[in-house]
Amino acid sequence: MHEMALCESILGILREQAGRDDFSKVERVCLEVGPLSGVETDALRFGFDVVMRGSLAEGATLDIVTPPATAWCWPCSETVAISERFDPCPECGSHQLQVTSGEEMRIKELEVS
Ligand SMILES: [Zn+2]
């Protein structure tokens, strides 16, 4: 499962930060998951609990926020918000869009102790 691997890499980042910033417990992780990233948030939550078990982030709260995706509309010559990859432009209905954000996943906030 793709989301398991993502959780493993999140744990890697947490361990690295714990070593650098000198904390031993993670209380809350806020993840920003782009709507076009293809990540299943339910699977991510499940994977998170499994992967964090026995680690510094065991029992940590996982918050997932999904920012709107954006795309450049050629006919409008401006950036518009979309919710799906193949959405038409909400302004002019054109499909000549180039996705500019919404595919990324990153740790937005960490609460540690
Ligand atoms: Zn447009």
CATH of the domain at 20: 3.30.2320.80
Strands (DSSP E) contained in the chain are: 26-33, 61-65, 69-73, 78-82, 97-101, 105-112
Query: What's the pLDDT at 85?
Result: 87
Query: What's the pLDDT at 1?
Result: 56
Query: What's the pLDDT at 34?
Result: 94
Query: What's the pLDDT at 56?
Result: 97
Distance 75 CA to ligand 1 centre (A): 5
- How large is the C-alpha radius of gyration of the chain? 17
> Which residues in the chain land under pLDDT 70?
1
Domain extent, residue 83, equals 2-112
Query: What's the pLDDT at 25?
Result: 97
Distance 76 CA to ligand 1 centre (A): 4
Distance 36 CA to ligand 1 centre (A): 19
Distance 107 CA to ligand 1 centre (A): 31
How many domains does one find in the chain?
1
Query: What's the pLDDT at 95?
Result: 96
Residue with tokens 């926020």: 65
Distance 93 CA to ligand 1 centre (A): 6
pTM above threshold 0.85: no
**CA–CA dist 6, 8 (Å, integer):** 5
Query: What's the pLDDT at 69?
Result: 95
